Amino acid sequence: MPLSPDPALCRALAADLRDAGFTADALRTAWGGSADAAISRGLRGPAERALACRTDALAVLARFFVLGLVQPATTLTDALPRTTVAGLVALDLAAAEEGGIVAPRALIRPQEFVDAAGDMQWWIASDLDEAALGGPLPEGHVLGVGGASLTLAGLQLPGHVGRVLDVGTGCGIQALRARRDADHVVATDISSRALFFTELNAALNGVDGIEVRHGSLFAPVAGERFDRVVSNPPFVITPRAAGVPAYEYRDGGLVGDALVARFVGGVGGHLAPGGVAQLLGNWEYREGQDGLDRVRQWVAASDIPLDAWVVEREMLDPLEYAELWIRDGGTTPGSPAFASLVAAWLDDFAARGVTAVGFGYVLLRRPTAGAPTLARYERLVQAVPAPLGPHLQAALSAHDRLQPLDDAGLAASVLVVAGDVTEARHHLPGAEAPSVVELRQGGGFGRTLEVDPALAGLVGACDGDLPVGVLIDAIAELLEVDAGALREDLLPRVRELLFTGFLAFA
Q: Are residues 437 and 473 in the same domain?
A: yes
Is position 129 within any domain? no
CATH code of residue 314: 3.40.50.150
- Contact yes or no for 74/97 (Cβ under 8 A): no
Q: Are residues 428 and 335 in the same domain?
A: no
Q: Among 41, 87, 83, 79, which residue's Cα sits nearest to residue 62? A: 79
Quick one: three-class SS letters along 263-284? HHHHHHHHEEEEEEEEEEEEEE
Cβ neighbors of 114 (< 8 A, separation 6 or more) are 120, 387
Is position 395 within any domain? no
In sequence order, what E strands does 200-263 have? 210-214, 226-231
Is position 452 within any domain? yes
* Spatial separation of the C-alpha atoms in residues 127 and 320, rounded to whole Å: 27
Which residue range forms the structural domain that includes residue 494?
401-505
What is the β-pairing status of strands 182-189 and 210-214?
A: parallel
* Spatial separation of the C-alpha atoms in residues 87 and 312, rounded to whole Å: 46
Q: Are residues 246 and 330 in the same domain?
A: yes
Q: Are residues 198 and 299 in the same domain?
A: yes
Q: Are residues 161 and 252 in the same domain?
A: yes
Q: Are residues 362 and 497 in the same domain?
A: no
DSSP 344-366: HHHHHHHHTTEEEEEEEEEEEE-
* Spatial separation of the C-alpha atoms in residues 460 and 424, rounded to whole Å: 12
Q: Are residues 151 and 246 in the same domain?
A: yes
Q: Are residues 38 and 142 in the same domain?
A: no
End-to-end Cα separation, the chain, in angstroms = 56
* Longest Cα–Cα distance in the chain: 90
Is position 301 within any domain? yes
Backbone angles phi, psi at 336, to 5 degrees: -60, -35
- Alpha carbon 114 to chain centroid, angstroms: 13
**One-letter amino acid identity for 182?**
A
Cis peptide before 387 (omega within 30 of 0): yes
**DSSP, res 260:** H
Is position 111 within any domain? no
Q: Are residues 336 and 465 in the same domain?
A: no
**One-letter amino acid identity for 296?**
R
* Spatial separation of the C-alpha atoms in residues 198 and 218, rounded to whole Å: 18
Alpha helices in 56-209 (DSSP H): 57-61, 73-79, 84-90, 130-133, 147-155, 173-179, 192-204
Q: Are residues 176 and 63 in the same domain?
A: no
Q: Are residues 164 and 243 in the same domain?
A: yes
Q: Among 48, 75, 50, which residue's Cα sits nearest to residue 63? A: 48
- For 215, the 3-state DSSP assignment is coil
Alpha helices in 426-466 (DSSP H): 453-461
Count of domains in the chain? 3
Q: What is the pLDDT along the chain (506 residues), one digit of tens a residue?
A: 567 999 999 999 999 999 999 999 999 999 999 999 998 888 899 999 999 989 999 999 999 999 999 999 999 999 999 999 999 999 999 999 989 999 999 999 999 887 777 788 999 999 998 888 888 888 888 989 988 999 999 999 999 999 999 999 999 999 999 999 999 999 999 999 999 999 999 999 999 999 999 999 999 999 999 999 999 998 899 999 888 888 888 888 888 899 999 999 999 999 999 999 999 999 999 998 999 999 999 999 999 999 999 999 999 999 999 999 998 887 888 889 899 999 999 999 999 999 999 999 999 999 999 999 999 999 999 999 778 999 999 999 999 999 999 999 999 999 999 999 999 988 888 777 787 889 999 999 999 999 999 999 999 999 999 999 999 999 999 999 999 999 999 999 999 999 999 999 99
Is position 118 within any domain? no
Q: Are residues 84 and 211 in the same domain?
A: no
